[in-house]
């Protein structure tokens, strides 16, 4: 099978191109000696099946970042038949250096010039025909976003693959990598002859927007307002969808499933309906919010606003030993900790990466949000509900900052802060939906395993041994609650909540499902039941603990993978558990002392 | 001779030297910071925050500390 690798600088639309060529068939592949995940897809090229690999975006083959090392390792250990090098046309004057480095190594190359529409608007003209002649390789103008020029690029790729008998020789590439320095002059020469760049860019839309969004005094308030509006939007649109789905699942049970399992043994009926179904149904009702969240997030991410957020926040972040990029990843963490921790890869300093990884799991992720929305709805009046949720967000930021400040000397940062500000772009609906779909698919894949397993385990623990009342103190679950009660009583967490917390360790998505099983009811009935059993101080203490303590197993696995340190993983677990207990203790005892 | 961190907002200059260690030098060079190139300061963030620099068609943000390794000749 032929092997094609896709290479380019960050922000050139590489992933967009990869998604466009591969459709939704991309998979995460394993490569010897490479610890990061590389996406790959099987594609059909002129009758051949070829494997297309999406290499990480890099600035320079000689760079020192993890991604740059990954690309070097890949190219010096794997033979490839073709490299598709993707450059941003509007920045060809500097990006061409990457192509020249690649070309010098003797790879068969197709050069794809992306963002031709933007370049055209900026008044940049590239003579692709003469550039192709000078470089002695196919040069094709494309738009990864809209698909223009793509058939031509693939045709050129097919031709090279069909003609050529040999593949790259990883060993000799390793040697060639040691030597090259003449690239700069060659690049300037090529640009002068084949590219016309106006002295100043004619498209000043981005400048106009930046004047407002990066304004000295308006910038930060606008940033926080934008974040607030996005969250508002997600929940205003999400709530009715959530209700609708909940109704649908209830109806399905009462009109179909109850009858279906009516003749099965009682324990089996309980396992299927009260265990698996009610757990899944309770959690599934929150899926619309997650979908909305990632749809919105993908727009924000692709628009280029996240780098602006980094610019606005950097002065504050630097005081905590972090930088604007950490802040962006912390924000991503409010969607889901896992991709945010993976995203810290853009940082070159290991120290700052670790510090950011320690902080991210404290962000109020969408899974925790499910738990909070549920409990707030059960125990607080509609008037107080937004306030409580807001307080939890503030608390989340506070513990993040506290952690960063406390550990910043442990993980001292020496990394330079230099980031590109891409022009504002609006992603196409296709991009938004594809991205949203991928995230949701990923979330459901990850969540469903944990949820089904976790909820069934909770049901078993709360219904066995069979000779006692379900979910009572005498069940296995109750015993676990009693075992931990010396620790949990001082923070107002009763045995039922304790069991939910134990299962929240597997995934926060489980917590509400677990409560449904523990109390043997769901939806409004569950809310009413909980309101009679715990007061608001206990509920708040429970939410604070849930907010801060160990995130899901997926996050832990990601931390271990990315930090490549079991010790660091344990530090993260123990720190968050300890901090959660201390905060809940202070809140609960404080509120009690004040007479609540 | 000045360094980039001292250049005023809205002013233009030519890069005359880059005195950074190797990894920073590589990153700067890949983003377009090369001797002889013109640049201008678009804006600065408050509280001594990063500088927003324009080099040709590329916009870059960097901290004053990193900017101080870049020697410039104002024009």
ipTM: 0.93
Among residues A505, A552, A561, the alpha carbon closest in space to that of A342 is found at A561
Q: What is the pLDDT of residue A302?
A: 76
In chain A, what are the helix, strand and coil shares in percent, each to the nearest 5? Answer: 65, 10, 25
More confident residue, A382 or A493: A493
Question: Could you tell me which chain B residue has the CA closest to the CA of A304?
Answer: B59
Rounded to the nearest angstrom, the minimum Cα separation between B49 and chain A is 4
> For B46-50, what is the mean pLDDT?
88
Q: What is the pLDDT of residue A575?
A: 96
pLDDT category at A526 given cuts 50, 70, 90 is: confident
Q: What is the pLDDT of residue B31?
A: 86
> For A539-549, what is the mean pLDDT?
94
Torsion angles phi and psi, residue A588, rounded to 5: -65, -50
Residue B15 has pLDDT above 70, yes or no: yes
More confident residue, A29 or A66: A66
- Contact between A311 and B66 using a beta-carbon 8 Å cutoff: no
User: Picking from A11-20, A119-128, A324-333, B5-14, which range would have the lowest pLDDT averaged per residue?
Assistant: A324-333
Among residues A481, A592, A582, the alpha carbon closest in space to that of A537 is found at A592
> For A29-44, what is the mean pLDDT?
68
Rounded to the nearest angstrom, the minimum Cα separation between B1 and chain A is 23
Rounded to the nearest angstrom, the minimum Cα separation between B44 and chain A is 8
> For A252-266, what is the mean pLDDT?
86
Contact yes or no for A102/A61 (Cβ under 8 A): yes
pLDDT category at A446 given cuts 50, 70, 90 is: low
Task: Please check whether residue A242 touches B, CB under 8 A.
Answer: no
Q: How many domains does chain B have?
A: 1
User: What are A65's two structure tokens?
Assistant: 């970042």
A354 contact partners, CB below 8 Å, separation of at least 6 = A411, A563, A568
Residue A467 has pLDDT above 80, yes or no: no
pLDDT category at B54 given cuts 50, 70, 90 is: very high
Question: How many C-beta neighbours within 10 Å does residue A478 have?
Answer: 21
> For A490-498, what is the mean pLDDT?
87
pLDDT category at A178 given cuts 50, 70, 90 is: low
More confident residue, A422 or A457: A422
What is the CATH classification number for the domain harbouring B22? 2.30.30.90
B 35-64: CB under 8 A from A: 42-43, 45-50, 52, 56-63
User: What are A83's two structure tokens?
Assistant: 């490299």
Q: What is the pLDDT of residue A362?
A: 95
Task: Please check whether residue B26 touches A, CB under 8 A.
Answer: yes
Residue A28 has pLDDT above 70, yes or no: no
Which domain range does residue B54 map to? 2-74
Task: Quote the percentage of chain A above a pLDDT of 90.
Answer: 20
Rounded to the nearest angstrom, the minimum Cα separation between A130 and chain B is 22
Residue A440 has pLDDT above 60, yes or no: yes
> Residues of CATH 3.40.50.300 domain(s) within chain A?
2-196
The secondary element (H helix, E strand) that includes residue A502 is helix A495-504
Task: Quote the percentage of chain A above a pLDDT of 70.
Answer: 87
- Contact between B27 and A311 using a beta-carbon 8 Å cutoff: no
Q: What is the CA radius of gyration of chain A?
A: 27
Task: Please check whether residue A214 touches B, CB under 8 A.
Answer: yes
Question: How many C-beta neighbours within 10 Å does residue B5 have?
Answer: 18
Q: What is the pLDDT of residue A587?
A: 96
pLDDT category at A110 given cuts 50, 70, 90 is: very high
B5 contact partners, CB below 8 Å, separation of at least 6 = B51, B64, B65, B67, B68
User: What are A241's two structure tokens?
Assistant: 């969808």
Look over chain A and give the mean of its residue pLDDT values, rounded to a whole number: 82
- Please state, in angstroms and rounded to a whole number, the distance separating the CA atoms of residues A344 and A66: 11
User: Picking from A249-258, A466-475, A545-554, which range would have the lowest pLDDT averaged per residue?
Assistant: A466-475
Task: Please check whether residue A97 touches B, CB under 8 A.
Answer: yes
CATH 3.40.50.300 matches A2-196: yes
**Residue A184 DSSP SS3:** helix
Task: Please check whether residue B21 touches A, CB under 8 A.
Answer: no
Q: Bridge partners of A87? A: A113
pLDDT tens by residue, A182-196: 676 777 788 888 887
Contact yes or no for A236/A242 (Cβ under 8 A): no
Contact yes or no for A400/A364 (Cβ under 8 A): no
Mutation target among A102, A188, A418, A423 for the B interface, most CBs of B within 10 A? A418
Among residues A110, A95, A183, the alpha carbon closest in space to that of A149 is found at A110
Task: Please check whether residue B34 touches A, CB under 8 A.
Answer: yes
- Please state, in angstroms and rounded to a whole number, the distance separating the CA atoms of residues A141 and A102: 19
């Amino acid at each position: 099978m032929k092997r094609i690798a896709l290479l380019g600088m960050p922000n050139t639309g590489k992933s967009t191109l990869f998604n466009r060529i591969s459709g939704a068939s991309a998979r995460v592949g394993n490569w010897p000696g490479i610890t990061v995940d590389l996406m790959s897809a099987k594609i059909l090229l002129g009758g051949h099946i070829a494997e297309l690999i999406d290499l990480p975006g890099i600035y320079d083959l000689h760079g020192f970042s993890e991604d740059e090392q990954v690309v070097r390792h890949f190219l010096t250990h794997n033979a490839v038949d073709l490299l598709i090098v993707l450059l941003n046309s509007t920045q060809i004057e500097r990006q061409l250096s990457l192509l020249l480095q690649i070309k010098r190594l003797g790879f068969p190359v197709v050069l794809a010039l992306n963002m031709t529409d933007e370049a055209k608007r900026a008044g940049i003209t590239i003579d692709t025909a003469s550039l192709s002649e000078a470089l002695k390789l196919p040069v094709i103008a494309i738009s990864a976003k809209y698909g223009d020029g793509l058939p031509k690029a693939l045709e050129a790729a097919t031709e090279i693959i069909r003609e050529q008998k040999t593949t790259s020789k990883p060993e000799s590439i390793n040697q060639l990598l040691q030597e090259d320095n003449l690239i700069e002059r060659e690049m300037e020469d090529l640009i002068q002859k084949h590219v016309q760049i106006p002295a100043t860019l004619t498209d000043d839309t981005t400048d106009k927007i930046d004047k407002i969004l990066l304004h000295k005094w308006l910038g930060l308030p606008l940033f926080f307002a934008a974040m607030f509006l996005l969250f508002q939007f997600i929940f205003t649109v999400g709530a009715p969808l959530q209700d609708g789905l909940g109704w649908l699942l209830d109806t399905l049970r009462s009109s179909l499933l109850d009858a279906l399992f009516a003749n099965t043994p009682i324990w089996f009926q309980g396992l299927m309906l009260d265990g698996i179904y009610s757990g899944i149904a309770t959690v599934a009702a929150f899926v619309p919010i997650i979908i909305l969240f990632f749809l919105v997030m993908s727009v924000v991410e692709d628009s280029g606003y996240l780098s602006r957020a980094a610019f606005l926040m950097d002065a504050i972040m630097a005081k905590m030993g972090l930088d604007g990029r950490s802040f962006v990843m912390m924000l991503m963490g409010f969607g889901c900790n896992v991709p945010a921790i993976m995203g810290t890869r853009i940082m070159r300093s290991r120290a700052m990466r670790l510090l950011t990884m320690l902080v991210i799991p404290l962000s109020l992720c969408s899974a925790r949000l499910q738990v909070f929305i549920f409990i707030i709805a059960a125990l607080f009046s509609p008037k107080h509900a937004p306030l409580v949720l807001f307080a939890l967000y503030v608390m989340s930021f506070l513990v993040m900052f506290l952690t960063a400040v406390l550990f910043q000397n442990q993980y001292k940062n020496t990394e330079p802060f230099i980031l590109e500000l891409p022009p504002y772009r609006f992603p196409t609906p296709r991009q938004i939906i594809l991205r949203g779909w991928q995230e949701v698919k990923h979330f459901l894949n990850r969540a469903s395993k944990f949820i089904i397993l976790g909820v069934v385990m909770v049901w078993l623990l709360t219904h066995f041994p069979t000779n006692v009342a379900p979910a009572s103190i005498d069940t296995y679950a109750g015993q676990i609650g009693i075992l931990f009660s010396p620790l949990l009583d001082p923070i107002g967490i009763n045995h039922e909540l304790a069991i939910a917390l134990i299962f929240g360790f597997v995934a926060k998505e489980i917590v509400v499902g677990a409560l449904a099983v523990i109390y043997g009811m769901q939806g409004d009935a569950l809310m009413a039941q909980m309101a009679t059993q715990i007061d608001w101080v206990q509920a708040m203490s429970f939410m604070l603990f849930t907010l801060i303590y160990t995130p899901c197993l997926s996050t832990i696995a990601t931390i271990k993978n990315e930090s490549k340190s079991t010790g660091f993983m344990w530090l993260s677990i123990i720190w968050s558990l300890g901090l959660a207990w201390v905060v809940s203790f202070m809140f609960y005892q404080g509120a009690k002392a004040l007479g609540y | 001779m000045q360094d980039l961190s001292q250049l005023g907002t809205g002013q233009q200059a030519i890069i005359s030297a880059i005195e950074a260690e190797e990894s920073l030098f590589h990153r700067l060079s890949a983003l377009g910071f090369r001797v002889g190139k013109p640049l201008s300061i678009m804006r600065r963030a408050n509280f001594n925050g990063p500088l927003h620099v324009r080099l040709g068609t590329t916009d870059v943000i960097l901290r004053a500390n990193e900017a101080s390794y870049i020697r410039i000749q104002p024009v």
